[in-house]
Structure 1
Amino acid sequence: MAFVSASEDRRVPLPSQLRYDPTDPYAVHLSLGAPMAGPVVWVFARELLAEGLRRPAGVGDVLVFPRHRCLPDTMRIVLRTRAGAALVELPASEVTRFLRTTGELVPPGTEGAYVDIDSGLAQLTGRSD
């Protein structure tokens, strides 16, 4: 469960789920909202999530911040669009556990060995062999 803040004084609980697919080894997927209502899914770098556990990280649409002294077991992710921004708070212990599991599936630094470049190029060019 995540907490989302659209303003500084209002935190709202929101179902959330971090997902990882070894066939897309550089990315993590953060789903926010109830599955039946069609969750919003943000995709960003696994490395960004890991770095954000240690220090502020990211530029652009996704920013990740480590634990805060007021909420020591929470990490924060800022998600920005043209329409606005939302602050998502996730339990840092769950994110740490998630990253440990992804690291067992695809160790950091070895992602390139899990990418099928030929298939990706065929999809991009519209060719099939």
Structure 2
Amino acid sequence: MNSSSTVSAELGLRLVVPQQTIVPLMASLFYSREDPYAIRIAFHVGLDEPVEWIFARDLLARGIESREGLGDVQVWPSAGTEGGEPGSVLNLELSSPFGQAHFEAPVKDVADFLRKTYQIVVAGEESDHVNVEAELTDLLRQAS
């Protein structure tokens, strides 16, 4: 088991814009033992603060192999818009009331990041790292 409780990585993405050139941008991936089911991704889009999304680590991992996700986050492998090896690109499509965005990322970089997260919390052992009592106390405090 890795003694670190977090892992992060910088990821070069391409924003796929219909009928226009592909726009490169950077994103930061974050994972913490404190929230073992989730991956946070922060998109650096030129604003003061990055745009952040949170979704399931399992979704990202399964999306490397096949199309996964319903609703707001969908992930699937492909050769990418600029050709390349089948499965070399990971597509990430995000939808919100404010719009929709389609990104492409190198599968290898995402897989390397995921491998590091599984060194922190092994797949299937996420619940061992959740303090249910503290979470319930926090929810009850917020509801009051």
TM-score for both structures, normalised by structure 1 = 0.90
Partner of 2:5: none
Larger displacement relative to structure 2 (47-56 or 9-18): 9-18
Runs ≥4 residues deviating over 4 A = none
Partner of 1:126: 141
Q: Which runs of 5+ in 2 are unaligned?
A: 1-11
TM-score for both structures, normalised by structure 2 = 0.82
Give 1 or 2: higher helix fraction. Answer: 1
User: What secondary structure, in the 3-state scheme, does the structure 1 residue paired with 2:28 have?
Assistant: strand
Q: Does 1:66 align with 2:77?
A: yes
Partner of 1:40: 51
The structural deviation recorded for 1:11 is 1.2
User: What secondary structure, in the 3-state scheme, does the structure 2 residue paired with 1:104 have?
Assistant: helix
Q: Which runs of 5+ in 1 are unaligned?
A: none
Give the share of equivalent positions with the same residue, in percent: 32
Cα RMSD (Å) of the superposition? 1.8
**Distance across 1 between alignment mates of 2:43 and 2:141:** 32
Greater relative CO, 1 or 2 (CA 8 Å, sep 6+): 2
Larger displacement relative to structure 2 (78-87 or 117-126): 78-87
Count of matched residue pairs: 127
The structural deviation recorded for 1:91 is 1.0
Residue 61 of structure 1 contacts residue 80 of structure 1 at CA under 8 Å; is this kept in 2?
yes
Partner of 1:102: 117
